Structure 1
Amino acid sequence: MKSFLSPAILGLSFLSSLSLPEHVLAFFSVPGVPTLRPATLSGRDRNNGIHLAVSPVCGPLSGNVSDVNAGIDIKRIKTIVAFGDSYTDGGRDDGGPLAPPVVVPPDAEAGGRSTDGKVWIEDIAEDIGATLKDYAQSGACTDLSMWPSAIKKVDFLGQMQTFLNQSNHLDPDTTLYAIFFGINDYEDSKTDGTANLQAAAKVILNQISILASPPTNARSFLVTDVYGRGTHTPEGDAMVQTIFSGLAELRANASASSKTKLNFAFAEFARIWDGVLDGDPGYKAFGYVSTDACIVDCTIEECTTDDMCDDPDHYFYYIPGHPSKEGHRIMADYVQEVLQRCVEE
């Protein structure tokens, strides 16, 4: 007698040949059939062998900074609106379709990105089948008026103005707003002084308040940080703590004053940088062969593929200070672990 596999089993068999994130696989689970895990699918061959070797440190949206998901159901998200700097910049800053994430030598930047492929927020959008509207700009800080030394004259306030001027009509229940700032504020503070790092934190909170108000009425926010990229200072840590505590206050105030529920997730990318650069567990545990940049032939205006390394997939940085596409992939994986594992009841 011939044995036939059900369509569900055949579908899972097909999925097992793909390198899909765990939360995506969960969408395809079938009663009575074990959900496949990334390790079952392709082990450490996924993402050219680069993988997370650290885990989120979950905690409540109160107290000290931790990884947390307070109310975001990623399966409901159909649109992601992203604000940020070069780590989130997909090569276009008006929310329109992004250029293909392909390197065309001698230009080292894939479609205008500061890496050799998709940035982390693109990976997340692709994983969940969401439309990405990206307003991030390379070199952006929170507010240029606070940082006279800023090299690139772009900031969160300008990105917000672009977004608001478009009068987008996005469903608050299915739209996630991703906000990733701090790196350039921290770098500028080395010249202009650290006093305004607290003000930078408040800019982020104020802009979230604007997004949560009419006409946008945003309800779900993902906030991330890696201000020092492996370096920690009391002033920088205090900035992150102010942001984190402010999110809890915004959530509590919204609920108390108008019965409106604001949903926040916070992902601390510093755990990746600390794990790679500080020797615990170290870069080799992630699959990297070097913590250096593969490409060093860069100016403020451009980076070229001249004299690039022979193994860009396994260098932590693609260009100075900017992770490779594999690094962006594990950043996306980290966020998705936070959304799955750090759910605040």
Structure 2
Amino acid sequence: MKTNFVAAGFITLSMMLPLKASAANFTGLYVFGDSLADTGNIFNFTSNVLQPPTPTPPSPPYFQGRFSNNLIWVDYLGEKLGLQPTLASNILLNNAAPTQGINFATGGANSGFGNAIAPNAPLPGVLEQVTGFIQGNGNIVDPNALYAVVGGANDYLFPKVPSNPNQPKPYNNIFQSVDSLVKAGAKNIVVFNLPDLGVLPGSTIPGRNPQLLTQETQEFNTNLAKDLATIRQNPNIKLTEVDVYSLFNSWRKSPEKFGFTNVTDACLRFTSSTTYITCNNPQEYLFWDSIHPSSQAHKLIADAVFVPEPSVTMGMLGLGAVVTLGLFQRQSRKSTSATK
């Protein structure tokens, strides 16, 4: 596996649209996504499955398997809800019992299947995470839990070469993820659109075109919003659409309102594959590295999230044999054999 997994990732940023009410009664928090929401899955995999171990992201400078300098929005939101989802990798590797939900998010995840920067690794994409979870629970999920879906940026930041025009678009995959959850019984769903990928510090590296990334971002957001219209009209579904694009632009326009002094540069810069330098005030930076937000930005995201009261329905907390974990396990064995 490539060691530049640290660049992996999704992307980042933004703030949740404020929503009314509290969420004390959610039975669990289930997260599907990439490095924006990964609290340690890819770190556990690269530390315990790969031979030789190559912990990614490295700590330090990254914080405990997160693609930031400290806690991320999943942690902060979990504190507000009183829910800390168990990592899918901990269930697989350590037989952990998930009691408050599961976090399947994996750094580098494509919007659909596989991993953008490590295509041969046993790491599921966003739609793959959702599909495996639903199938593992007999195609029925807990209607009283909260589900979050985040992804799409890796498809643009780490495009497949050559590209396949017949493959579903990233926004199709994210919509399919949300729609699959709805059809399986989910009632409370949060879904992110993308920030302007063309203004990331990492948008100007060789091989990337900032103007094209901006165009692709707008295409993704426009089409995802259009696709979600059918779900939005369902009165039984509480769908929270997070307009990351607009909110991120407001951060850049008025940084002082959010406590930032730098919204253009990365605090963390690698001078080689193993050496790096960091700024002295990471909490005043919007970007921790070239594509991921600082912990302060993540905290602002969580502070802005006021999820609605759960849509209560008779249901079960599905913690069955999650197919996604089986996929991790089967492919992990293959990876271990191949890297020994």
Please classify the TM superposition score into its range, dividing by the shorter chain length: 0.5 to 0.7
Question: Which string of whole-angstrom CA distances, capped at 9 and with x for unpartnered residues, describes residues 37-59 of structure 1?
Answer: xxxxxxxxxxxxxxxxx998xxx
Matches within 5 A, 1:49-128: 74-92=23-41, 107-128=60-81
Conservation of the 8 A alpha-carbon contact between 2:28 and 2:83: yes
Report how far residue 276 of structure 1 moved: 3.3
Structure 2: 5+ residue stretches without partners: 1-13, 45-56, 86-101, 200-212, 309-340
Matches within 5 A, 1:70-219: 74-92=23-41, 107-132=60-85, 133-144=102-113, 150-153=116-119, 154=123, 155-164=125-134, 166-167=136-137, 171-173=142-144, 175-189=145-159, 199-214=169-184, 217-219=185-187
Identity among equivalent pairs (%): 23
Report how far residue 105 of structure 1 moved: 8.6
Q: Secondary structure at the match of 2:175?
A: helix
**Residue 228 of structure 2 corresponds to which residue in structure 1?**
247
Greater Cα radius of gyration, structure 1 or 2 = 1
Q: Which residue among 258, 261, 275 is the counterpart of 1:286?
A: 258
* Distance in 1 separating the partners of 2:82 and 2:34: 23
CA RMSD of aligned residues (A): 3.7
* Distance in 1 separating the partners of 2:271 and 2:24: 39
Q: Which residue among 246, 255, 262 is the counterpart of 1:271?
A: 246
* Distance in 2 separating the partners of 1:211 and 1:195: 26
Question: Which string of whole-angstrom CA distances, capped at 9 and with x for unpartnered residues, describes residues 218-275 of structure 1?
Answer: 11110012243464734432321222222220243x56xxxxx121001112234312
Report how far residue 116 of structure 1 moved: 1.5
CA gap of 1:190–1:235, structure 2 versus 1, over 3 A, is: farther
CA gap of 1:197–1:75, structure 2 versus 1, over 3 A, is: farther
> Aligned AA for 1:289?
T
**Residue 313 of structure 1 corresponds to which residue in structure 2?**
283
CA gap of 1:322–1:211, structure 2 versus 1, over 3 A, is: same
> Aligned AA for 2:193?
D
Report how far residue 75 of structure 1 moved: 3.9
Q: Secondary structure at the match of 1:271?
A: helix
Query: Which moves more between the two structures, 83-92 or 182-191?
Result: 182-191
* Distance in 2 separating the partners of 1:194 and 1:239: 17
Report how far residue 94 of structure 1 moved: 12
**Residue 296 of structure 1 corresponds to which residue in structure 2?**
269
CA gap of 1:105–1:244, structure 2 versus 1, over 3 A, is: closer
Report how far residue 314 of structure 1 moved: 1.5
Scaled by the length of structure 1, the TM-score of the pair is 0.61
Structure 1: 5+ residue stretches without partners: 1-53, 57-66, 96-103, 256-260, 341-345
CA gap of 1:178–1:196, structure 2 versus 1, over 3 A, is: farther
Question: Which string of whole-angstrom CA distances, capped at 9 and with x for unpartnered residues, describes residues 105-129 of structure 1?
Answer: 9621211110121111221111121
* Distance in 1 separating the partners of 2:223 and 2:75: 27
Across the two proteins, how many residue pairs are aligned to each other? 248
**Residue 262 of structure 1 corresponds to which residue in structure 2?**
237
Report how far residue 88 of structure 1 moved: 0.6
CA gap of 1:204–1:120, structure 2 versus 1, over 3 A, is: same
Scaled by the length of structure 2, the TM-score of the pair is 0.61
Report how far residue 188 of structure 1 moved: 3.5
Report how far residue 87 of structure 1 moved: 0.7
CA gap of 1:320–1:123, structure 2 versus 1, over 3 A, is: same
